[in-house]
Structures are given as structure tokens and as C-alpha cells.
Structure 1
Amino acid sequence: MAAAAQDGGNLANVHHILLVLSGKGGVGKSTIATQIALALRLAGKKVGILDVDLCGPSIPRMLNAMNKEVHQCDGGWVPVYVDQEKTISLMSIGFLLEKPDDAVVWRGPKKNAMINQFVNDVAWGELDFLIVDTPPGTSDEHISTVNALQPYNPMGAVLVTTPQAVAVGDVRRELTFCKKVGLPVVGIVENMSGFVCPTCSECTNIFSKGGGEELARHSGVPFLGCVPLDPQLTLSMEYGKDFLREFPQSPAYPALTSIARFILDKASESS
């Protein structure tokens, strides 16, 4: 277990903490973080999502929770539950903005203070997994997030890339960041790996292919799989629908559920 080993605090009953990182924006990191959470829920797990992408909080939209409000309890902030069964809970700065289009124009110290408040002051209750969606890059926010979570022994990070050499190069720097801060790497996901035709379901490589897998091999970390571009997945994220429940026939479905199975196996090894 991860945070469950601690004596107290709001993460005391969170069993496994997983960060989702990317070296650059636009690679679908928040999409992968959301789908990992949904796939773990599909496997019967209770999941929380902590969205620390302060300047681009997109997960409330992806989970159709944009109009929800955060409330206070004796333990701090109560996360927003995105389903009636309360199997997925979410905390994001998107819930704290007066207007959805308000920009977060903060200097580093204020961002770092908010991240520490998110880590320490959200009353998650008991969770099997807490998925932490981070902003792109290797900036102050990443250091603050890792430092705040280190006492709870996170299981590690999933790194998201696209096949192109530019994106893979940025993820290589993300691997260096993880090594410097002592954060284990669970594995690499190659997102947007081919395009699935909505008519014939044929997958075409509109970008290059295999960059993420090659990087994983050279770096000695697990390769978790290729997730193709699927218009059904894109629309699901736009309208806050549960892609895995609504489109189990999609070619992206086995890729995403395979990533979740790997994470489950990894978590069971550390328990």
C-alpha cells in the first residue's frame, strides 16, 4: 500500500497513488488519466482524480462535472463525485473558479500553495487509487506535487507521449526528471498511435509510430501500449461520456483496459 501506511491525514486511506506526466502539452495526458480512472472503476476499484493542471483544468469537462460545487467538511474539502455510485471522485481548481473561462494568473508560490492544499486538505475517504493529473513539463508545480506526495510513497508515474520524435524527446526529459526526484516510472503510453476510421475501423498511422515503445526499450521501463486516435473517444471527452462503457467495441478499448490491468498487477506487487 502507498498512503495507507501513514498515521493520519486525508491520504491515510488511499492505497495507491499514481501520477500521469507528459513532457509537453497536446499529447492527451488528461485523456489518458481520465481513461485510466474509468478503466480502474470498470475493474471494480474506487478511484479519485486530483487535477493539479492549474492553468488547464480539463478533467471536469471530460467527466461531465463542470457545474458541480466543492463543499467543506470537518476534514477539509469534499471532492466532487462524478457518478451516483460514488466510485469516482474528483478535485480540480476548475470547481473553484467563479467562471469556467477565468484564467489562473498566479506566480509560482501561489500555485505551490494550492497544490499543497489539494494534497493535504481534500477529504478523499477510502480509495483504491488516486490518479494525479499534472501539467505538462518539469516545472515548479511538478516538484511541489512530487514533494507533497513523497511522504505517502506513490507507486510511480505513467508517462504519456505521441509517436513523433519531438514528443518522445520531451518525454525523455520527463524520465530524467523522475530519476532526479526519485519517482518510479510505471511505464510509457504512446497515445494517438494511428487513426481509427469511423467507417471501416481501419487504423492508419497519420503520425510516425513506435517512438514511445522504442524510448521505453532504450530506457529500460515498461511499455504500456499504443492508444489509437478514435473519434468516439474524442467525442466522449468533449461531452463527458463514459467511453469504456459506451464503446467496448472500439480498438482503443483493449489498449486502455490493458494499461489498467498492468497498473492493477503492479499495485498488487507492492501491496
Structure 2
Amino acid sequence: MNIPAIQTALLAVQIPETERTLGSEKAVQSVEEKADGLHVKLQFGFPVHHIGNEIANRVQEALIAHTADAAIHLSIDTAIDTHKVQPGVSTIKGVKNIIAVASGKGGVGKSTTTANLATAMARMGARVGVLDADLYGPSQPTMLGVAGIKPEQHNQKLLPVEADSGIQVMSIGFMVDTDQAVVWRGPMVSQALQQLLFQSEWDDIDYLFIDLPPGTGDIQLTLSQKVPVTGSVVVTTPQDIALIDARKAVDMFNKVNIPIFGVLENMSVHICSNCGHSEAIFGSAGGKNLAERLNVPLLGQLPLSLPVREAMDGGSARQLLEEHPEIADIYTRAAFQIALAVSDKGKDFSSRFPKIVVE
């Protein structure tokens, strides 16, 4: 076999759902001819489980002219790195990348979006965590099906609760009664957020999604100053009043040097479960126009959906994506774009450097 020709053919293979190639992503790790055929090892800096079969098919098609009847043994692996965050903030042990999910306005489905993006990312093969930073109204334990569970402790740290999708979850909702109001001033809220994040023993998380509360107040300020954020996602509805607040969230992230990976438009249309008629009851193209103005991707447009609402109330995000492929496809495409945006950022090498002590 002509190994240089095989390598050239491999580098040109396009990665599904992207404009990228194996060559542009430096994904080809090794190509070896052995007694039982050709062995090809690929490694990606983002999760590819959801497109693994398609990658294998494209590799097969690209190499068949070069291998004749020889068997092709393909190995696909991922190695997700820690990427750069805002200046002056150190990364967290056990967490590689943090993605803040914000809206600026309440009631637009930000928590629902966080839960389903995290579930989609886990289904794609990544190790995922969710930090519920909406301390006044924590909803992630309910949405991810772990409400009522108390976190265990190990080495004076809290162990995140694991949902059935494998997602590691931490929330103030585990610590307080669901009917109990959290009546705290700003400094207490900021301290609680830091404790939930820094005093939890996260276990090798590739992507930690932080579900932010509405607004641009104390929690958001703490996040920007003390939490290593890789990037953010802005959730909005097409409604003008929601877009006004979404722009405030965008402005906040711009001021604190946190990049925006994209805009996700929720409740874009209502589809009648009886007749199938669709109606844009909150307006149309608002999220699309906001994304174009910011020059960031529109990650997706989600309909106002009864199955989504039922799944969030019932704590069955994983089951939702398994049983409703059309909904799963929207969240998966959005999560994949986020993962690609993270991989495009510069890598963080600070953890590899020894600490210098001046005596």
C-alpha cells in the first residue's frame, strides 16, 4: 500500500456537519500497514460519537481505491483540552472548559436549554457537568431528575450528584428545601456560587455548563471576575422585549472579555399538537437577527414544545432526546457548534507550568 497517498486522501476527508477536514483539525494520529490490514487512528479535540459512523463511512470511501481488498481498522478517539479563559483567572481542577448560559431575561427557557445542551453533549461522548447558579430559583435538579438527593462529601469537598445521563450536577437546590426561599444579599449569593463551584470535587469534566440567573447582577459579576469561563451562550425568544434584555447580557460578556459562542432562539414557533399548524406567537427571526448583528452563529431555533415542557417537569431530559429525534437533532447541532467553538480557542497550558515561589 502507498502510505503517503493514503495519508493525503485521509487529510482531505470532510468532517460531517462541518466545513472542516481531518487535515485542518490535525485528526490523523497514525497510519500503519499491518498483516491484518490498514490501521488508522483518528483523534479529535471535540466529541464525535454522534457522527462516528459517518466519519467511518467517509474514511472507507476515501481509502478504498488505495487499499484494494485490505481491511481498514479505524480507531476514533477524543482528547478534549483545557482552553484559554479571561485574563487573570485560574482554571479549576477537574474542569477543562466552562460555558455560561445566560439570557438577561427570565422565562425564556434558559434552564431548559442548559439541561438539554448538557444532555446532548453527554450523548455525543463528552464528560459533562451542570452548575445551577440560579440560586434564587434552582431548577436543574428537577430537570435532570436528581431532585431530593443530598451530595456526599469527600476530603471536605462536595461530590456532585450524577444524573442517569452521566452528567455531574451541583445546585443550591440540593441544600435547601424546595419550598424554602433563599433570602440572601448579593455578597452571600456570590460566596455561595464560589463554594458550589470551587468546593465541589468535579471528576474530569470536559464541559461544565453554568445555568445563570436572569439579569446582569452579582452572580454574573462574580462569574466574570473569579470563574474561568471559556465562553458563553445567549438564550432568547423572538419577542422584542426578550431581545432587549438579551442584548444586555451580550454587552455584559463583551465588557468582561468572555466570548459569545452563539445565540439560541427558544419558543420560535408554536406547533399545534392537534392539527400541526405552526404560529410565531412571540414574533419571528429575532434570534437570527441578533446573531447576525453580533456576527456569531445562530445555534438553533426551538419550537414551543409540549414534550420538552413535560420532560423538564418530569426530570427526563435523556429520555426526551431519545424519544424525539427532531428535538434531539436541534440540541445536538447546537452542542456540536459550541464544542467546535471551544476547540478553536487557544489552549491553556498554565497547569503544566511549575509554580514559581520568590523567597
Residue type of the partner of 2:150? E
Equivalent residues in 2 for 1:122-161 (5 A)?
122-150=200-228, 154-161=229-236
Percent identity at matched positions? 37
Per-residue CA deviation, residues 80-125 of structure 1 (Å, 9 max, x unaligned), is 0112x7x21100000000x211000001111111111122101001
Shift of 1:261: 1.3
- Matched-pair contact (CA < 8 Å) for 2:94–2:201: no
Shift of 1:201: 4.2
Equivalent residues in 2 for 1:165-204 (5 A)?
165-204=240-279
Per-residue CA deviation, residues 160-216 of structure 1 (Å, 9 max, x unaligned), is 000011100111111110111111111111100001222344432122011111011
1:57 is matched with 138
Q: Does 1:259 align with 2:338?
A: no
Distance in 1, matches of 2:157 and 2:196, equals: 10
SS at match of 1:189: strand
SS at match of 1:124: coil
Shift of 1:18: 0.4
What is the aligned counterpart of 2:178 among 71, 96, 100?
100
| Gap runs ≥5 in structure 2 | 1-80, 348-359
Distance in 2, matches of 1:3 and 1:108, equals: 30
Distance in 2, matches of 1:73 and 1:62, equals: 26
Distance in 1, matches of 2:259 and 2:91, equals: 23
Alignment coverage as a number of residue pairs: 260
SS at match of 2:158: strand
- 4+ residue runs over 6 A deviation: none
Greater length-normalized contact order (CA 8 Å, ≥ 6 residues apart): 1
1:213 is matched with 288
Q: Which TM-score applies when normalising by structure 2?
A: 0.69
Q: Given the superposition, is the C-alpha separation of residues 10 and 78 from structure 1 closer, same or farther in structure 2, using an over 3 Å criterion?
A: farther
1:40 is matched with 121
Q: Aligned-pair RMSD on alpha carbons?
A: 1.9
SS at match of 2:302: strand
2:152 is matched with 71
2:193 is matched with 115
- Matched-pair contact (CA < 8 Å) for 1:247–1:253: yes
Per-residue CA deviation, residues 1-32 of structure 1 (Å, 9 max, x unaligned), is 33799xxx993232221000011100000000
Q: Which TM-score applies when normalising by structure 1?
A: 0.91
Distance in 2, matches of 1:18 and 1:31, equals: 15
